[in-house]
Amino acid sequence: MDGFLSEWGYVALYLATTLEGEVAYLSAIVAAKLGYLTVWGVGVAGFLGGYTRDMIIFLLARYSGQRYLKRNPSMVPKVEKASQWLSSRPAYFLAFHRFIYGLSTATVITLGLSKMTNLRFAFICGVACLTWVLGYGLLGYFAADQVMSNLEWIKGNFLFFLAFVVAVILSIRSIFIYFNRDN
């Protein structure tokens, strides 16, 4: 395992963060804390993966989004509603979109369909990815000791822990559904 991480860990992290990788990024931070990877390497791979992901989604929405909307006219009102919501402060939403659970991809797609320039998106997205890497990186690095000290408890109470995680996810999803329903 040690050899795999040192040879392929950064590539694996890059690929995982291009797919939406908070869990992979935090796991890599813990691996860095344990000495398997370097913190700087994890930060760079996480940043590049997140930035690549956002740029690909933005550019796909920019250059293929209108064709998709023409084929699926039922999506137009939803996209317009999201665009109005984001247009109030697009740079603000973009800067923090990676921290908004469940809305990261939707924010990037909506901005790809908006009038935001590619250069402006690229710059603000870079700042957002840097903020994400630093925020989760610091959280993961300093919380790693606490998590590792409780691994035995988690293993002994795995079903309880799993039920708790599922309950939290369902609660968050229910809250989003409640506040996003049509009045």
The pTM of the whole model exceeds 0.85: no
Instruction: Note the pLDDT of residue 3.
Output: 60
Q: Which tokens is 4 given?
A: 């795999």
Which residues neighbour 6 within 8 Å (Cβ) at sequence distance 6 or greater?
A: 36, 37
The percentage of the chain sitting over the pLDDT mark of 90, rounded to a whole number, equals 14
Same domain, 167 and 103: no
Same domain, 111 and 154: no
Alpha carbon distance 180, 79 (integer Å): 14
Same domain, 154 and 139: no
Task: Please give the tally of structural domains in the chain.
Answer: 2
| Residue 170 Cα distances to 91, 113, 178, angstroms | 29, 30, 12
Residue 95 pLDDT exceeds 80 = no
Mean pLDDT of 91-115: 77
Mean pLDDT of 103-111: 81
- Of 25 and 155, which is predicted with more confidence? 25
Mean pLDDT of 47-72: 88
Averaged confidence pLDDT in the chain: 80
Domain membership of residue 43 as a residue range: 2-144
Residue 88 pLDDT exceeds 80 = no
Same domain, 100 and 59: yes
Mean pLDDT of 143-166: 73
Mean pLDDT of 110-126: 86
Same domain, 123 and 170: no
Mean pLDDT of 97-116: 78
Same domain, 128 and 169: no
Residue 40 pLDDT exceeds 80 = yes
Alpha carbon distance 164, 97 (integer Å): 26
Same domain, 163 and 131: no
Same domain, 28 and 43: yes
Same domain, 100 and 170: no
Tokens 């989760």 — which residue? 136
Same domain, 103 and 33: yes
Maximum mean pLDDT: which of 21-30, 54-63, 92-101, 111-120: 54-63
Same domain, 122 and 41: yes
**Centroid of chain to Cα 170:** 18
- Of 110 and 1, which is predicted with more confidence? 110
- Tens of pLDDT along 1-39? 556 556 778 888 899 888 877 778 888 888 888 888 888
pLDDT-derived band of residue 154, with 50, 70 and 90 as boundaries?
low
Same domain, 93 and 113: yes
